[in-house]
Structure 1
Amino acid sequence: MAYLTKSNSLKIISRIDLKNKDSLSGEIYGKSIYFFSNYEKNNLLGLKELLKDPENFIKEYYVPVEATDNLKYVYEGGKPSYHSKPDCELLNSSYKNFEIPEQLREKGKDEVIKFRNWFKGNQYLLDDPDAFVARLKIAFGIIINPKTIDFENSDVEVKENLNLNELENKINLLISNVDQYYNNANEEQKEIIRRYQRLTFLANPKYEIKDNNTRFKDEVIKEFLKQYDVHFKKPITNLLIEYYRVKHNPNLKFEGHLLEQLGFRPCRSCHQENIGIGVNKPVIEINTDDLPF
């Protein structure tokens, strides 16, 4: 038996074959949730299917995808790990990664690789921000706040240990809050909600709002969608993900051979302990995945 982190279970969903989206049947929740796009619904349905029946998920929806390096993070492009022990220290640790400064990404791949190598040798200096900044300036001629590159993937986790009934109560309350927010909104806000509530990805600066024939400027719509996403859609998404886990696969247990089909590799720390090597010297391993969503 093998185990996944929550963030890595989400990573699998990015590999759903959306050509088969029509075969993803069912509802994402017992109550109607009307503000998700079809893409968002399919991701949630795919995750539910993965947790309920991994073999059928692989057969019907999964498309092998080569790990890609988007040159955005220090640790990127490698295969994610699965764990053979539910108490593995790495299984229960926070996902942590570091963004490449934009000034360096603009210079191309060679500069990104140079920074990655430098960072791995100087990462310990993050505990001494002044020393980190000074050494970074010497090496690359830039000055940045170290916190701006420190990224911890916590927004996909529900920190409380909730049972199904408690999760349902929280989800139902948020759905009710969304309805109440709309009812109390002014006409301008209602207009944006009606037209764009399923398109909150447009809040991302890289996307253009096309055919905007509303009375509002693009930047006004983007800021509203950002807040709508943060306060409503993301919290409900995270609770639904936790709901599926608790209901269908509380410990995120899978057969190891299935996870290898999904592009995972055995955790080095678990593997070494299983073969009796390095028991007293666990390997420090950092997840190299991108964000799950």
Structure 2
Amino acid sequence: MAYLTKSNSLRIIASIDFKKIGNMNGNVYKKPIYFFSYYEKNNLLGLKELLKDPENFIREYYVPIENKDKLKYVFEGGKPAYHSNHDCSRLNSNFRNFEIPEEIRERGKPEVERFRKWFKENQYLLEKPDVFVARIFIAFKIKINPKAIDYDNSGVEVIDNLNLQELESRIDKYISQAGQYFNKADNEKKEIIRKFQKFTFLAYSENDIKNNDTRFSDVAIKKFLKQYDSHFKKPIKELLIEYYRVLHNPDLKFEGNLLEQLGFKPCKSCVEDVMYNKSTSKPIANHNSINEMDDDLPF
């Protein structure tokens, strides 16, 4: 049996080409939720199906997509890991990624790779920001605030360990609050909600809003949609994801061969636990592959 982190279970959904799959059937929750877009609904239903019946999900829905390195983060481009040990420290710890400075990315892929190597060797210096800034200037001739490259990738990991009843109570509360907010809103806010509640992604785009035939500017609409998204949609989506996990697959258990089909690799730490008996520090099996394993992604 193999295990995934919550963030890695989301990676599977992120790699689905819903244009090829089409509409997934089912309801995201026992109560109707009207403000999810087609894409948001399909993502939630995809994760629900994955947790409920992994084999059927792969057979019916999964369309593998090449995992391209976007050269944006320090830990990127490698294969994510699955864990054979439920107590593995990497399985139960939060993962932090770091954004590569724009000046480095503009220099091209070789410089990005050099920065990644340097960063991994000097990451411990983040505890001493002044030293980190000085060293990075010596190595790359750029000045940077180390906080600027810190990127939180914990996702739904921050949700409390709630049971089904508690999760349902929180989800119901947010749904009720969203309804109350609409009923109490003035006509101007109701107009924006009616037209754009399913398209809150527009708030994060630098492009103009197409078909904006309202009396409001794009700036005003985007500002409102960001608030609406953060207050209602994002919290409900994160709670629903946790709800599916607790309901269908509390420990995020999967068969290892299924995960390898999805592009995952065995966790290096778990393999080392198999190779070495911790009480004697002696090998218990003859493995030669551990030093050859790509361990780019630390989870």
Tell me if TM exceeds 0.5. Answer: yes
Q: Distance in 1 between matches of 2:105 and 2:203?
A: 23
Deviations along 1:235-290, one digit per CA (max 9) or x if unpaired, are 0000000000000000000111111111111001101111227886999x66368x
Q: Distance in 2 between matches of 1:244 and 1:206?
A: 33
Q: Counterpart of 2:100 in 1: which secondary structure?
A: coil
Residue of structure 1 equivalent to 2:297: 287
Residue of structure 1 equivalent to 2:47: 47
> Is the CA contact 1:78–1:288 (under 8 Å) kept in the aligned structure 2?
no
Q: Distance in 2 between matches of 1:87 and 1:196?
A: 44
Residue of structure 2 equivalent to 1:169: 169
Q: Counterpart of 2:198 in 1: which secondary structure?
A: coil
Larger Rg: 2
Residue of structure 2 equivalent to 1:21: 22
Identity of aligned residues (%): 64
Deviations along 1:116-169, one digit per CA (max 9) or x if unpaired, are 122122211100001111122223332222111112223322431111011000
Q: Distance in 2 between matches of 1:204 and 1:111?
A: 29
Moved more, 203-212 or 94-103: 203-212
What amino acid does structure 2 have at the position aligned with 1:208?
D
Matched, 1:56 2:66: no
TM-score normalised to the size of structure 2?
0.90
Q: Distance in 2 between matches of 1:185 and 1:79?
A: 47
What amino acid does structure 2 have at the position aligned with 1:161?
N
- Indicate how the Cα distance of structure 1 residues 210 and 169 shifts in structure 2: closer, same or farther if over 3 A, else same: same
Deviations along 1:80-126, one digit per CA (max 9) or x if unpaired, are 00000111110001011100112322333233223212212221110
Q: Counterpart of 1:151 in 2: which secondary structure?
A: strand
Unaligned runs of 5+ in 1: none
- Work out the number of aligned pairs and report it: 288
Q: Counterpart of 2:87 in 1: which secondary structure?
A: coil
Residue of structure 1 equivalent to 2:180: 180
Residue of structure 2 equivalent to 1:79: 79
Q: Distance in 2 between matches of 1:105 and 1:196?
A: 35
> Is the CA contact 2:7–2:154 (under 8 Å) kept in the aligned structure 1?
no
Matched, 1:218 2:228: no
> Is the CA contact 1:158–1:238 (under 8 Å) kept in the aligned structure 2?
no
Residue of structure 2 equivalent to 1:70: 70
Structural mapping, 1:102-181, within 5 Å: 102-181=102-181
Q: Distance in 1 between matches of 2:222 and 2:298?
A: 30
Flag the structure with more relative contact order, 1 or 2, with Cα contacts below 8 A and sequence separation at least 6. Answer: 1
TM-score normalised to the size of structure 1?
0.92
Matched, 1:260 2:265: no
> Is the CA contact 1:95–1:287 (under 8 Å) kept in the aligned structure 2?
no
What amino acid does structure 1 have at the position aligned with 2:91?
L
What amino acid does structure 1 have at the position aligned with 2:76?
E
Unaligned runs of 5+ in 2: 283-289
What amino acid does structure 1 have at the position aligned with 2:68?
T
Residue of structure 2 equivalent to 1:2: 2
Residue of structure 2 equivalent to 1:36: 36
